């Protein structure tokens, strides 16, 4: 089980916990992850961390698809990988939602499936540098030949020579997008993954994607990085309660009433009644009641919350979940140390002996 550290991305002030990331690296953590919505971006912090670390992989979870053209995204990812010494950058992409895409980025929501497919194919061509990049897609084309074009666009090849196989991961949750992830991507940030869901929901979708990819692509060629909330506390109920406001906000208000991917995640996990109630209360301005309507089990199944003994007891379920790694959010070094001990990752890079 590989360990990843997720960094805070929604604060009013940007703070990069360099010492915490360095400690995670020393403890054998595999990756550190940034994100973006409509504040700080996901890419710039990784350029900073490239100079402060030696081995840990630097990933986005995720870069929003409509924030940049595929070429601009590729340029940023290649630049970070070069600054980091090569072979450390993971480019994670996600579609976001129509409220942000149209309201913040000023881009049409369009057909995100086809925009994602076109984007990944263009990114691959840029990284591989086999020829000047041209692409004729349903949502995106290079050279551009749409409204306002002069008609003189020229296919170009990246000046920068970096990793031709720079990993592309997708953050997805719905059936068609999960199939697309398995078909085109090297890894997956599953939305709302908990132990048991690979077998009950996702396996057939992923295997269909592998078959579409051809070339013998299989589980061996694919990473799954699940998100896991971790809180060491003697008060389990309070630990669960601390995560309910964010869940109520995402399920109730992060997205349009008729198109909310976080609500869809709760539906997939079997909490249809709770999902409808949370959204109804949240949109009615009854936020406290929406928070109270979040089931304890919904939070508990998606995290490792409670005393150390309880976390130790529940950690094997994540190891056996089918995920190849988990990303945790914490600002505590003792939590990093606990997870490193549980996963057996402590100091692969530095040679520090495992704790007894």
288-311 tens-digit pLDDT: 999 999 999 999 999 999 999 999
Of 3.40.30.10, 3.30.470.10, 3.20.20.30, 3.30.70.980, the CATH number of 2-227+322-343 is 3.20.20.30
pLDDT bracket for residue 16 (50, 70, 90): very high
Q: Summarize the confidence of residues 132-153 as an average pLDDT.
A: 96
Show me where the domains of the chain are located.
Answer: 2-227+322-343, 234-306
pLDDT of residue 257: 83
Whether pLDDT at 201 is above 90:
yes
DSSP single-letter state for residue 66: G
Closest CA to 136 of 152, 116, 121, 150: 121
pLDDT of residue 258: 82
pLDDT bracket for residue 350 (50, 70, 90): low
Q: Is 344 left (phi over 0), alpha (psi -120 to 50) or beta?
A: left
Q: Summarize the confidence of residues 197-216 as an average pLDDT.
A: 97
Q: How far apart are CA 124 and CA 343, in angstroms?
A: 33
Six token digits for residue 209: 């994607």
Secondary element (H or E) of residue 279: helix 272-283
At residue 355's C-alpha, the angle toward residues 351 and 356, to 5°, is 135
Report percent pLDDT > 90 for the chain.
Answer: 92
pLDDT of residue 244: 96
Six token digits for residue 234: 């003697």
Closest CA to 155 of 184, 126, 116: 126
What is the Cα 43 distance to its own chain's centre? 13
If you average pLDDT over every residue of the chain, what do you get?
95
Whether pLDDT at 321 is above 90:
yes
Six token digits for residue 112: 């995100």
Secondary element (H or E) of residue 172: strand 168-172
Q: Summarize the confidence of residues 246-269 as an average pLDDT.
A: 89
First to last CA, the chain: 19
Query: Comparing 196-210, 259-273, 309-323, which segment has the lowest mean pLDDT?
Result: 259-273
Whether pLDDT at 351 is above 70:
no
pLDDT bracket for residue 256 (50, 70, 90): confident
Contact residues for 319 (Cβ-Cβ < 8 A; gap 6+)? 1, 343
Whether pLDDT at 342 is above 90:
yes
Q: How far apart are CA 338 and CA 355, in angstroms?
A: 10
pLDDT bracket for residue 356 (50, 70, 90): very low
pLDDT of residue 254: 81
Whether pLDDT at 355 is above 70:
no
pTM comes to 0.94
Whether pLDDT at 4 is above 60:
yes
């Amino acid at each position: 089980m590989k360990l990843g550290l997720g960094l805070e991305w929604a604060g009013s002030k940007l703070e990069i916990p360099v010492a915490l990331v360095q400690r995670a690296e020393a403890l054998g953590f595999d990756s550190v992850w940034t994100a973006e919505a409509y504040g700080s971006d996901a890419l710039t912090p990784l350029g900073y961390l490239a100079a402060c670390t030696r081995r840990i992989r630097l990933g986005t979870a995720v870069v929003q698809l409509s924030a940049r053209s595929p070429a601009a995204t590729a340029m940023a990812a290649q630049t970070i990988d070069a600054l980091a010494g090569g072979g450390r950058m993971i480019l994670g992409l996600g579609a976001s939602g129509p409220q942000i895409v149209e309201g913040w980025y000023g881009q049409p929501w369009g057909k995100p499936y086809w925009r994602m497919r076109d984007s990944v194919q263009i990114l691959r061509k840029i990284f591989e540098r086999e020829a000047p990049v041209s692409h004729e897609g349903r949502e995106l084309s290079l050279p551009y030949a749409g409204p306002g074009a002069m008609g003189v666009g020229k296919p170009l090849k990246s000046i920068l020579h970096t990793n031709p196989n720079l990993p592309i991961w997708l953050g997805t949750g719905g059936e068609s997008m999960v199939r697309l992830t398995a078909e085109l991507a090297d890894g997956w940030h599953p939305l709302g993954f908990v132990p048991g869901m690979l077998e009950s929901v996702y396996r057939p979708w992923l295997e269909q994607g592998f078959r579409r990819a051809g070339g013998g692509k299989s589980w061996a060629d694919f990473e799954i990085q699940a998100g896991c909330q971790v809180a060491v506390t003697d008060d389990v109920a309070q630990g669960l309660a601390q995560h309910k406001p964010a869940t109520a906000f995402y399920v109730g208000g992060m997205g349009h009433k008729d198109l909310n991917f976080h609500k869809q995640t709760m539906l997939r996990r079997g909490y249809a009644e709770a999902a409808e109630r949370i959204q109804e209360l949240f949109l009615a301005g009854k936020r406290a009641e929406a928070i109270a309507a979040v089931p304890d089990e919904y939070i508990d199944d998606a995290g490792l919350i409670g005393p150390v003994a309880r976390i130790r007891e529940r950690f094997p379920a994540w190891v056996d979940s089918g995920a190849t790694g988990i990303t945790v959010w914490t600002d505590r070094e003792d939590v990093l140390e606990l997870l490193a001990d549980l996963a057996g990752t402590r100091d692969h890079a530095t040679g520090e002996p495992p704790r007894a």
